[in-house]
Structure 1
Amino acid sequence: MIRTFFCIVLLILGTRTASAETNLSTNDSTVSDKYTLDVGMFYANSDSNFIVTNPKTGGTFPVDFEDELLLAEEQYLPYFEFTFSFNQRHNIYIDWKSLDRKADTETVSQDFILEDIDGKDYLIETGAKLNTELNIDILRIGYGYDIWQGTHYAVGVSVGIHTMFIETAFKGTIGICVPDSTLTSLCSNAVATPEVIDDTLTAPLPDIGLYGSYEFYPGWTFDAHAQYFAIKYDDVDGSLIDIRLGVEAKICDNWSLKLAYNYYDVDVTIEKTRNVGNIEQRTFDYNINYSFTGPMFAVSYVF
């Protein structure tokens, strides 16, 4: 996923460079154009679960990745943010956040079936040893326009899209079930398999926002932004709240340090269904809550 982020950044840089080379005669219009790259860390608190099937009753229930499968709830994580500012008022931004976790569960506490992963069902039984991996990447791309500007301040609006990439992997004592029209016979022919991997991509989810900056002392700038979305489309139900307040301190011509306090919460439910005996059944649902409230620190370079 990080490769995708940097490929997009390089594409923007290459496009802008080519444009500049073909417009040397109008160089004055690009005097205020700049690129900004932030590399930083933040502290995340995560809560995630998925819906599984009871092999005895056919009913469904949630399994919590953190409580049941022992994935870490809190950890420090990296983030990258790239901004291209041009023609005085226009801004294109890209940022990427990642949450990669894995854990070993020595004894699973209950039987459950993972349904409809690559067209197959998988049985995990009580007492089984299981290694679980859950990787979540969030890529945000957007555009901002400065509505009000002054010598020391700017206020604008933004629109963008968030896309969430989810990869889940299970390794351990896992059986392959043979699908049937009745739930009671789904796992009558279980065999051993070493690994189950499921990849899920959410549709791009739109967001709108406000942002502003104010230089209150030479080299010191207060920044703030707020973004929001809530949407239900097809099999995706999602919402996002992103509020950040921070201070940027310029340490030399091109380098700055940024310290911010951020409230960030993404809540996405992805529903999977399939037809069994001409009846549509819900199978392997995700509910991902990816949030943190706390400090962020970044090093920023302008070029």
Structure 2
Amino acid sequence: MSIRLLPLIIASLVSNQVQADDFTIEFGGFYSQSDTNMEVTNPISGNNFTLDYESDLQLAENEFLPFIELNYHFNERHNIYLDWKKLHRNAETQALSKPFLIEINDNIYDIKAGGRLNSTLNIDVLRLGYGYDVFQSSNYDVGLSFGLHTMFIKMGFEGVIGVCSSSELVNNVCGSQAIPRIVDESVTAPLPDVGIYGHYEFIPGWQFTGHAQYFYVKLNDVKGNLVDIKLGVDAQITPNWRMNVAYNYYEVDVDIAQNSPTKNTQIANYNIYYSFTGPMLSVSYTF
């Protein structure tokens, strides 16, 4: 009897293994309500102030942005995931109302008021991680995730812009030297994050889904943090296709301290704060 049952047991184990190992690609977009600002210096008063990308530089506050995620689930409880979010915006300000100074790569840029200014702010976030299902049952799972985020940040201005070194700055004003366009592209080192995720099937084919992730790092003159909270409902359309509707809160804050060579020069830290809160819609296919 036991010998006859052995092939059935092996077949059952193999069947469960095949069902547990799958690869999913999810793609979609989110309609973001953005709040972005950067700490800069007023050249007239010499005081620091917060430059708002939406109200001061006319970047769109609401915009539909894409994302893609790949997930490999294996050995019943293990997950490897890779995702990418694209947060790109640009705008044209006909007459800048507030002049400001910003320091990038040891150069001070004097951006004049009254002229036309084209502004660009692109933030791409690439995430790679591993998740483990700590608790499982027939209709729910809860797990912990550990991963790495890398941020690709591109900031650009095009207009009437003076440029000088800290030693050449006179009364917080650069000389007559001017350039039409400046671009700063930076990549953060992979930053660690931790999180929790879960799924609950409340009726066959329908699930509540959610995750929360966080990281904070301070390394030399750079510090940054990210908060990512998502809650949604996932529905099975066909055996391989699913659709997800969710609500997401996402926040990125990067601060780079400036070390001017002259003590009399006070230029604000290079700080970019970005957050969005809004609905997300995606579809996924499982192989």
Matches within 5 A, 1:81-230: 81-115=69-103, 117-180=104-167, 183-184=170-171, 187-188=174-175, 190-230=176-216
User: 8 Å contact 2:48–2:267 — kept in the other structure?
Assistant: no
1:297 to 276, 281, 285: 281
Indicate whether 1:287 and 2:242 are aligned: no
Indicate whether 1:245 and 2:231 are aligned: yes
Map of 1:254 onto structure 2: 240
For structure 1, list consecutive stretches of 5 or more residues without a partner in the other structure.
Answer: 1-25
Q: Find the aligned partners of 1:181 and 1:175 in 2 and give their Cα distance.
A: 11
Map of 1:19 onto structure 2: none
Map of 1:4 onto structure 2: none
Q: Which letter maps to 2:160?
A: T
Please report the TM-score for the alignment, with normalisation by the length of structure 2.
0.85
Decide whether aligned partners of structure 1 residues 221 and 181 sit closer, same or farther in structure 2, where only a CA change above 3 A counts: same
State the 1:84 CA deviation.
0.8
Indicate whether 1:60 and 2:48 are aligned: yes
Map of 1:75 onto structure 2: 63
User: 8 Å contact 1:266–1:290 — kept in the other structure?
Assistant: yes
1:203-231 deviations in Å (ceiling 9; x for gaps): 33322222222223322222222223344
- Identify which range, 269-278 or 195-204, moves more after superposition: 269-278
**Could you say what secondary structure the match of 2:171 adopts?**
helix
Q: Find the aligned partners of 1:145 and 1:87 in 2 and give their Cα distance.
A: 10
Identity of aligned residues (%): 46
State the 1:279 CA deviation.
7.7
Matches within 5 A, 1:260-275: 260-262=246-248, 264-275=249-260
**Could you say what secondary structure the match of 2:189 adopts?**
coil
Q: Which letter maps to 1:129?
A: R
**Could you say what secondary structure the match of 1:180 adopts?**
helix
- RMSD across aligned C-alpha pairs, in angstroms? 2.6
State the 1:298 CA deviation.
0.6
User: 8 Å contact 2:22–2:286 — kept in the other structure?
Assistant: yes
Decide whether aligned partners of structure 1 residues 215 and 230 sit closer, same or farther in structure 2, where only a CA change above 3 A counts: same
Decide whether aligned partners of structure 1 residues 217 and 110 sit closer, same or farther in structure 2, where only a CA change above 3 A counts: closer
State the 1:253 CA deviation.
2.2
**Could you say what secondary structure the match of 2:167 adopts?**
coil
State the 1:123 CA deviation.
1.9
Please report the TM-score for the alignment, with normalisation by the length of structure 1.
0.81
State the 1:134 CA deviation.
0.8
Larger radius of gyration: 2
